[in-house]
Structure formats: C-alpha cells, structure tokens
Amino acid sequence: MGSNLLLHNLDFLLISLLGSMCLVYADDVLTKDEQIGLLFKAKRMCEGNIISKQIFPDGFCSPEWDGIVCWPEGAPGELVSTACPEYIHDFNHQGLAYRRCDNNGTWELAATNNKTWANYSECAKFFPHYNHNHEKEVFHRLYIIYTVGYSISLGSLMVAVGILGYFRRLHCTRNYIHMHLFVSFMLRAISIFVKDVVLYSGSAMEDMERVTVEDLKSITEAPPADKTQFIGCKVVVTVFLYFLATNYYWILVEGLYLHSLIFMTFFSDRKYLWGFTLIGWGVPAMFVTVWASVRATLADTECWDLSAGNLTGIFQIPILTAIVVNFVLFLNIIRVLATKLRETNAGRCDTRQQYRKLLKSTLVLMPLFGVHYIVFMAMPYTDVSGIPWQIQMHYELLFNSFQGFFVAIIYCFCNGEVQAEIKKAWNRRTLALDFKRKARSGSNTYSYGPMVSHTSVTNVTARGPWLCTSPPGWAPGPSTATGPCRAT
C-alpha cells in the first residue's frame, strides 16, 4: 500500500511542469522515460553485484532486485533495511525501505496479494496522501500562472517589436538593443511552451499517474529504449537553455549600455552595438555549447532535462554572474540618480518630492535590470510540500513570466515618441481617408476638425519629440541615455 501510494505521487512529480519555473534550475525534473532509464542502470548494477558475489550464507534470504531497490541478503527473522534510492529523484533520500526475512530464509509475503512485502513509507514521507490533492492544485496553479504570464508577454512583445521596427524615426542604437531584448523574451517564452509540449504532454501525465509499483517492476524487465528517440528531447532542452541564457544576457546588455552612457564621456553607440550583440547572443552560445558537449560525453542520459550533478554549473554560474553584475550596475545607477536629485534640489525644503522622483526612477529601472532575480537567488530549494517553496515558486513564476510584458509597457507603449509616432501615423491615415472622401464627393472644402495640417505634422516630425522619457531628476549628462533617436 505504501509503495503504491509513493509511486502514484512520485509519478506526478516526475512529469510536473517545474522545468520552466526555476531561475537556473530548469533541468532538475525527470521525465517518465528518464526515470525508467535510471532504473535500468540501477538494475544492471544490482545484478552485476549479485553475480560477482555468488556465495551467500545458507538459510539467508537471497539478495535481489525488486524493480526499485537492490536488496541485500537478509538473516532469518531479521528486518532488513536499505536506503531509499537516490536514482528515484523525488524520494526522501534520508529515509529507509524495509523488508522482513522469514525464519525459513525466504522474504515475507504480503497477506493481501501473496507478493513480497516491502515498506517504502519513509521514502514517501514527502508525499502524504492527505496532501496529494493540495500539491496537485499547487502545480496546476503554477502552470496557469506562467502560461498566462508568458502568453501575455509574448503577445505584447510581438506588438512592441512591430512598432519599433515599423517606424523609421524610432530606429537608433538604443531601440535596436530594446528590440534584441524583446526578441530574447519572446524566444524564451516560445522555448518554454515547446519544452512543455515535448517533455510534459497531457497524455504523458495521465499515463504516469496510472503507473504502479508492479508496472514499474515489469517495465524494468523489458530491454531499454533506443537512445536515438531522445534526440529531439535533447535538442529542445539545449535550445531552451540557450534562449533562457540569452534573455539574462540581453538584460545585462541593457544595464551595460545605460551604465556606459552615464559614466563614459565619449560613447559611440554604433561602435559598441556589435560588441553588445556579441555579448547578448554569442556568450550564451559559448557556454551552452560547452555544457551540451560535456553532457553528451559524460552524462548522456535519455533526455537532458535531468540534473547531472556539477555539470549544471557550466551554465548556472555564467547566468548567476550576469544577474549579480546587473544588480551592481543597477545600484550604481540609482546612486547617481540620488546624487543628481540632491544637487538639483539643493536648498529646497520639499524632500518628499525628491524621494518620490527617486522611487519612480527606481521602479522604472527594476524590470529592465531584472532586480527581482536577486530576491531568492541564494535561497536553497526545499521540498514541494513546504510553504517557503510555494512562496518562492509563485514569486519567481509571476515575475519571470510577466517581466516581458512589463518591459514592453514601460519601454515601448508608455514611450513618448512611440505614442507620438502612432498618433501621427493615425492622423496621416485619417487625413488621407478624408481627402479621398472629399475628392469622391467633389467638394473643395476640407475640414479636419482638431487635426493638424500635413505641413504642421511635417514640422513636428522635423523637430521630433524625445524617444525615451528621462527618469525624474535625470541630469543633462546621463540624459543621453533617454534622448531622441538620431540617425545611426
């Protein structure tokens, strides 16, 4: 009973949708085939150890593989224990599994089904029966959160990229970098959706929830699956990790660009654009390629979404480094903003307005710099039944999935010149339609109401409003970061 309950809950965990939730722990989830592959390896090792030993004491229960655990020999009348296996990914690895050896030297049978009795209750302590429905609800809620979040972000970012690409007056180095960032968010969202479909399809979830201990034992009696069938899965996981990494590095590029505009007296946008592009797309390609090569050589499991020990550091460390560097840049820029505000408001008594301006500037910069990544970065992951884990997952999923939407809102839709360009395009379209309508009616009188004439629109276009509204209190020097787009 305990082992059946364990596998029922374990199977749900194995195909849960946590693969796209965590910051850089995106490969810490097993698929059904991957778990079976680990069981095959454990079975082969167990059988090899039994064959190599060959001689066992008379009257003892013989060692054997039961489909999950490799049991040692047992003395007559003894309760034999063995550690919960680590190759069952979500077991309680500090617990023990138990069997009893009868006085006649055979393993004790369960009275209900006449099969060998085993107690896996300690291994299953992470998955109590009364909590299973609650855990399932938590996973479903998390899935809904990040699916809705990434869908909204993807749609808004597509519109933002279309706007910045359509209007030629918005073409400048700063907006090129914004567009690269938007595209990286879009590719991250798409790769997450593809990864979910390939690794965690609905049919797989239903199949796994019907698996029992005896089913898993019978599976290990069959030959292992051909590794070639996992090539697509490996490609999907690798591409997902690459786009995940590029997103973090384009966030870093945004921070480096803004920091350079503030602290470098002479800064050539065009000169550094190619360097920024190399950082955003090239650096992640380097360490993800290294990870894939090492993984294929040293830990070529069925699908690469399973954590392979220290190999995850190959891509985790560069991503965490980018997050920390960007946070330092953010703090330095906020320091400069605070200094400029104090200098600008020197001698004034209203400090509350000064603090409000600083707070507004900080809130505007936070999504761009990905400051929310720092909050739980050093916090270790706990078991899924814990409240800290649930708080962490809800926080990460909510902010990670909606970050692209926030960035599109702040740096495109709320942008002064973007709004001006859209209004001018709409006015030109309305003006053209009005001309056609009047021409068809044969009238020589044109009344545009509150609309400006074509000449005045042209004059406004020549002057050009500011593209990116400067944060409150931004000084003339740093304001080049948010000045109008020039021909570049």
Residue 25 belongs to a domain: yes
Q: What is the predicted pLDDT for the residue at 283?
A: 95
Cα angle: 341, vertex 344, 350; to 5 degrees: 75
Range of lowest pLDDT (21-35, 321-335, 385-399, 472-486): 472-486
CA distance 350 to 341: 12
Give the pLDDT band (50/70/90) at residue 226.
Answer: low
Residue 121 belongs to a domain: no
User: Phi and psi of 96, rounded to 5°?
Assistant: -125, 150
User: Position of tokens 């290294």?
Assistant: 290
Between 203 and 74, name the one with better pLDDT.
74
Between 120 and 446, name the one with better pLDDT.
120
Q: Are residues 241 and 146 in the same domain?
A: yes
CATH number for the domain that contains residue 173? 1.20.1070.10
Q: Are residues 348 and 267 in the same domain?
A: yes
Q: Give the residue from 100, 125, 159 where a domain finishes.
A: 100
User: Phi and psi of 145, rounded to 5°?
Assistant: -60, -50
Q: What is the predicted pLDDT for the residue at 409?
A: 92
Q: Give the residue from 100, 126, 159 where a domain finishes.
A: 100
Instruction: Assign 428 to helix, strand or coil.
Output: helix
Give the pLDDT band (50/70/90) at residue 455.
Answer: very low
CATH number for the domain that contains residue 18? 4.10.1240.10
Mean pLDDT of 166-194: 92
Q: Are residues 194 and 341 in the same domain?
A: yes
Nearest to 364 by CA among 277, 445, 481: 481
Residue 38 belongs to a domain: yes
Q: What is the predicted pLDDT for the residue at 402?
A: 93
Q: Are residues 93 and 151 in the same domain?
A: no
Number of domains in the chain: 2
Q: Which domain holds residue 163?
A: 139-418
Instruction: Assign 289 to helix, strand or coil.
Output: helix
Orientation angle between helical segments 173-199 and 231-263, nearest 10 degrees: 160
Show Cβ contacts of residue 476 under 8 Å, excluding neighbours closer than 6 positions: none
Q: Are residues 45 and 152 in the same domain?
A: no
What pTM does this model have? 0.66
Q: Are residues 308 and 369 in the same domain?
A: yes
Give the pLDDT band (50/70/90) at residue 26.
Answer: very low
Q: Would you say 470 and 415 are in contact if contact means Cβ atoms under 8 Å apart? A: no
